[in-house]
Amino acid sequence: MGQPLGGNSLTHKLSDPVKLAPKAIPKRRNPPIPNASGLELIFSFNSSLIRHREAPLLESREKFLSHMMAQGTSVRRLRSIGTMLLHIIRLMDLKEARPVELSEVKEGAVKWAHDIEFRTKNGHAKTGRHFTYIAIKWLRFSAMYVTKIIRVEPDDSYAEQFVHFIQTVRGMGTLTVRAHRLRVRAFLKWNTECGRPLAALTLIDVDGYILLKLESGHKPAYVRSICHSLVLFFQFGEIRKWTQPRIAEGISRPRIPRVDSAPKGPEWADVRRLLDHDFGSNPAALRASAITALGSIYALRSSEVVNLKLGDFDWRNEIITIRRSKNARVQQFPIQLEVGNKVIRYLKEARPKCKHRNLFVSLNPPYREVDSTTLWVIVANRLKLLGISSKNYGVHALRHACATHLLHQGTSLKDIADFLGHSNLRSVSIYAKHDMEALRRIAAIDLKGIL
């Protein structure tokens, strides 16, 4: 697993992780104007400044461009956006601030797509899709964009009330709530397409939906998660008198073997190969190297990696603070040498200077925190690139591999549970149940002091 840091071996490398090397500033055609702000920082020619200042909605456009600049958008990109805003105003006849609907934006995009002569003459190769994207982003920022909420009533109302219940009353996490919302909304959409009111639903109808999912090729484990969401929904629906009683009790879930012979993560030798492989020195590779090291050595969940902050690394005392996502437990570990070196290199050479305090952020402006989906893609792509086979991919596969490796080393179940941040020993079986020989060996070790 590697050795923790000793003494102050890392302290001299990074005394303050927040003070990062700034990005290179794009070259300007003319020197910047002292104390300039707004358009003067973007457009360097007087003719361009005059054209942009004389166009309608100057204040709105200037605030929007300043907002994009604060997010880290390059000057070159801001020039392109600012010029596109002039075309949006021209083609949509926006002379003053007013409500704008999506249909009007689409009409403007069609005009832009057909204005081939103007675009060719002026060197614009942007499509109607780009026109729509910039227009909606600016109009929404300026509070001019009007969205017509299309709801499938009352199903959408049912879903949102259910989500509010599990989020506020049951206290479920953001990712769990999101998963339940998607599954319930998909079921309600299917039921609406069948032309059946929710109050008329029977257990036979629900079983038919579950069977349909199995027959369409979904894995039993995924269908079981759908059943779990439907059980929660129908329990809530029965309380609110939306559905017939006792449906939740009768929902049958697909059988999942209690002991799965196939490991859910890669072999530790393959994880070691992933950690040792040199994917390059570009920012994306350095960020991926830090992510895989944290996920493998500390067996973190993807949400725990996402939520890591710059302040969670105490470089002087060489301690990392982990906030567990499921039970809000806070744990501290020594900064392992390999992990520390990779995180430091990412901070010094790859992480952009931005206002976000999360450890991992996007590499291109506008900067934002990475999400769990991005982490899955980063890890999965590198596992597949090395030809490493695994039942699951992503950060959680590394977590499972770490737990299995600890089991093979003879670590007790209690120590593994504590290391993974679990509150009980039963949860450890999720990661290690496939290796029954190792479990028997650990059980024999644990019983020696008792018998």
Average pLDDT over residues 389-409: 86
- Contact between residue 97 and residue 142 where contact means Cβ atoms under 8 Å apart: yes
Q: Is the pLDDT of residue 446 over 80?
A: no
- What gap in Å lies between CA 287 and CA 236, rounded to an integer? 43
272, amino acid identity: R
Distances (CA, A) of 169 to 163, 165, 226, 236, 440: 10, 5, 21, 11, 41
On the question of pLDDT at 86 being above 50, the answer is yes
Per-residue pLDDT, 1 = 55
Taking a C-beta distance cutoff of 8 angstroms, is the pair 52, 38 a contact? no
pLDDT over 70 at 193, yes or no: yes
Q: What is the pTM of this model?
A: 0.63
Rounded to the nearest integer, the mean pLDDT of the chain is 81
Region 69-77 average pLDDT: 83
Q: What is the pLDDT of residues 103-128, one digit of tens each?
A: 899 999 888 888 765 555 554 556 78
What is the arithmetic mean of pLDDT over 354-369?
88
Distance CA 16, CA 341 (A): 15
Q: How far apart are CA 175 and CA 326, in angstroms?
A: 10
Which residue's structure tokens are 């702000």? 37
Q: Does the structure show a pLDDT above 60 at 26? A: no
Contact by Cβ (8 Å): 342, 332? no
> What is the reported pLDDT for 117?
58
How sure is the predictor about 74, in pLDDT bands with cuts at 50, 70 and 90? confident
Query: 62-70, long-range: CB within 8 Å, 24+ apart, which pairs?
Result: 62/38, 63/141, 63/142, 64/138, 64/141, 64/142, 65/38, 65/39, 66/37, 66/38, 67/141, 68/366, 69/41, 69/42, 70/355
Report the alpha-carbon angle 412-415-420, nearest 5: 125
Which residues participate in catalysis according to the annotation?
301, 326, 396, 399, 422, 431
pLDDT in tens, 194-209: 888 888 999 999 999 9
More confident residue, 253 or 34: 253
Report strand pairing: 313-314 vs 319-323.
antiparallel
From CA 190, how far away is CA 227, in angstroms rounded? 15
Check whether 257 has a pLDDT greater than 70.
no
Contact assessment for residue 416 and residue 313, using Cβ atoms and an 8 Å cutoff? no
- The maximal CA–CA distance of the chain, rounded, in angstroms, is 90
The whole-angstrom separation of Cα 271 and Cα 397 is 10
pLDDT at position 380: 92
Residues 6+ apart with CB under 8 A from 382: 274, 277, 279, 288, 292
Q: Is it the case that residue 264 has pLDDT exceeding 80?
A: no
When pLDDT is averaged across residues 39-48 and rounded to a whole number, the result is 84
To the nearest 10 degrees (0 to 180), the angle between helices 337-349 and 283-297 is 150
In the chain, % of residues over pLDDT 70:
79
- The predicted model gives 178-201 an average pLDDT of 90
